[in-house]
Structure 1
Amino acid sequence: MTYAVGMRLNRGLVFMSDTRTNAGVDNISTFGKMFSWNVPGDRTMTLLTAGNLATTQACVSMLAERTKAPAERAPSILEAPTMFQAARIIAQTLKEVIDENAATGQRADSAFHATLVFGGQIKGGPSRLFLIYPEGNFIEVGLETPFFQIGETKYGRPILVRAFDPDMSVAQAVKLLLVSFDSTIKANLSVGAPLDLMVYEEDSLSEGHRMRFEADDPYLATISATWGDALKSALDQLPDLEIDT
């Protein structure tokens, strides 16, 4: 399992993903689930993956190969004229990978499924963010849905729904995401650090700022501890229910 979030702010895009793919008493595995492509001055794109590891790795590998040797049947996302067309290419590639497994009796909603978050900007258009389903269709963020989550979403969603503001600064967005991830990590063993972060500034058309929070990162620890203390303090400040005894 995994947890990943793509968020659209008025200032640009923010992405975060965990790296855990397997967790057990004596078996913890990590793989990066954030991938990016950048042509300075022309386009920058980021992809988050969740689901079957073999499926997502095959999809990313095919996309990378086609950026080096595009063909009419298999166009490259680096040649797509718009982010919408790039999203179509990625969706079709994902469906192609899943369909190959379907030939052996598996289906898109089976163990080979995968879901993607894809965002970025191409010169001449605004930054855009998409959620791509294993069936090969996709949706785009809007006013009612300003962010997308994939993987283990339920534990980290409440804080995003309550606190997200498209006008917030990047620093505020990162804090919000870290709290969302901290809540998920504490509730589900299958999600864990290191956490990968990508921040893209609107209209920069350059590679975004990328960093990784290791499990022992001091800032991550401060966010976790401070948020826990704030919750306890807020609980203490809530009015008590008067119960007749």
Structure 2
Amino acid sequence: MTYCVGMVLDRGLVLMSDTRTNSGVDNISVFRKMFRWGGGDRTIALMTAGNLATTQAVVSRLEERTKAPADRQNSLLELPTMFQVAAEMGRLLRETVKETQTENGADGKGRFTASLILAGQIKGMEPRLFLIYPEGNFIEASFDTPFFQIGETKYGRPILIRGYDRTMSFEDAVKLLMVSFDSTLKANLSVGMPLDLLVLERDTFEPLHDRRIESTNPYFEQISNSWGAALRNAFHSLPDYSFYQKQDG
């Protein structure tokens, strides 16, 4: 399983992903799920969830296109808008899923799907965030939907909904994501450390912050412990329920 989040702020984009993949409780590995490409006029980042063979095939093909002269017209570094980048990634994902399922016959149906979060900015344009589905279609983040999640989304989502503010600082956004990931890690063993973090500031085409967060990271440990204590304190501060006091309703 996977957990990845991409978030739009007034200042730019913040991305975080876990790195755990598993084919059962006795077969757990670490694989990167966040990737980045850049040039002088753009920065593009991708996070992946789903079948590992499918996502690795997509990323490998994207890497080849940035290097092979014959594929320059479809390279992430040549396409003129982020919308066209999203469309090309969606087409490539759809083709890869279809090819893999065809090769594996009826047994492959539904097993080789994947989804992507695409983020980035091209000079002179706005930072943009997209969620790309296995079928190749996609949606873009907006004021109504300012963040996307893929993978194991349900445990960390309530934290994001309650804590997100488009005007928040990058530092507060990272703190919020760490709480969301900590909640997910506590609830689902198929999501695991280390975490990859990427902060892309508006109109700056090199990452403001690019870091891998290990399980021994002291700040993450402090966030986890402090959040647990804060929840317990909040719970105990709620009004007590009584079996003997008449309840309204």
TM-score (norm 1): 0.95
1:163-192, CA deviations, whole angstroms, 9 ceiling, x for partnerless residues? 100011011000100000000001001001
Alignment match, 1:61: 60
CA RMSD of aligned residues (A): 1.8
User: Offset at 1:28?
Assistant: 2.2
Cα distance change of structure 1 residues 55 and 74 upon mapping to structure 2, 3 Å threshold:
farther
Alignment match, 2:6: 6
Cα distance change of structure 1 residues 53 and 25 upon mapping to structure 2, 3 Å threshold:
closer
Residues 20-31 of structure 1 aligned to structure 2 (within 5 Å): 20-22=20-22, 24-31=24-31
Range with greater deviation from structure 2 (108-117 or 124-133): 108-117
* SS of aligned partner of 2:207: coil
Alignment match, 1:200: 200
* SS of aligned partner of 1:94: helix
Name the CA distance, whole Å, in 2 between partners of 1:109 and 1:235.
45
Contact 2:54 2:114 in 1 (8 A): yes
1:112-159, CA deviations, whole angstroms, 9 ceiling, x for partnerless residues? 000000010001201000000000000000111100000000000000
Aligned residues: 244
Name the CA distance, whole Å, in 1 between partners of 2:134 and 2:22.
21
Cα distance change of structure 1 residues 143 and 106 upon mapping to structure 2, 3 Å threshold:
farther
Residues 37-116 of structure 1 aligned to structure 2 (within 5 Å): 37-40=37-40, 42-71=41-70, 75-104=74-103, 105=105, 110-116=110-116
1:209-228, CA deviations, whole angstroms, 9 ceiling, x for partnerless residues? 20011011111100000000
Range with greater deviation from structure 2 (55-64 or 72-81): 72-81
Q: Letter of the aligned partner of 1:101 in structure 2?
A: T
Name the CA distance, whole Å, in 1 between partners of 2:24 and 2:216.
20
Higher helix share: 2
Name the CA distance, whole Å, in 2 between partners of 1:25 and 1:75.
40
Alignment match, 1:225: 225
Structure 1 residues without counterparts, runs of 5 or longer:
none
Structure 2 residues without counterparts, runs of 5 or longer:
none
Q: Letter of the aligned partner of 2:209 in structure 1?
A: H
Cα distance change of structure 1 residues 190 and 65 upon mapping to structure 2, 3 Å threshold:
same
Alignment match, 1:180: 180
Name the CA distance, whole Å, in 2 between partners of 1:127 and 1:151.
23
Name the CA distance, whole Å, in 1 between partners of 2:160 and 2:108.
29
Alignment match, 2:211: 211
Q: Does 1:136 align with 2:141?
A: no
Contact 1:141 1:148 in 2 (8 A): yes
Name the CA distance, whole Å, in 1 between partners of 2:222 and 2:75.
42
* SS of aligned partner of 2:87: helix
Q: Does 1:33 align with 2:30?
A: no
Contact 1:109 1:134 in 2 (8 A): no
User: Offset at 1:238?
Assistant: 1.0
Contact 1:23 1:190 in 2 (8 A): no
User: Offset at 1:100?
Assistant: 0.8
Contact 1:98 1:108 in 2 (8 A): no
* SS of aligned partner of 2:193: coil
Name the CA distance, whole Å, in 2 between partners of 1:107 and 1:128.
37
Q: Letter of the aligned partner of 2:198 in structure 1?
A: M
Range with greater deviation from structure 2 (85-94 or 62-71): 62-71
Contact 1:19 1:196 in 2 (8 A): yes
* SS of aligned partner of 1:4: strand
Name the CA distance, whole Å, in 2 between partners of 1:182 and 1:49.
19
Q: Letter of the aligned partner of 1:153 in structure 2?
A: T
Name the CA distance, whole Å, in 2 between partners of 1:4 and 1:193.
12
* SS of aligned partner of 2:159: helix
Contact 1:3 1:153 in 2 (8 A): yes
Cα distance change of structure 1 residues 67 and 208 upon mapping to structure 2, 3 Å threshold:
farther
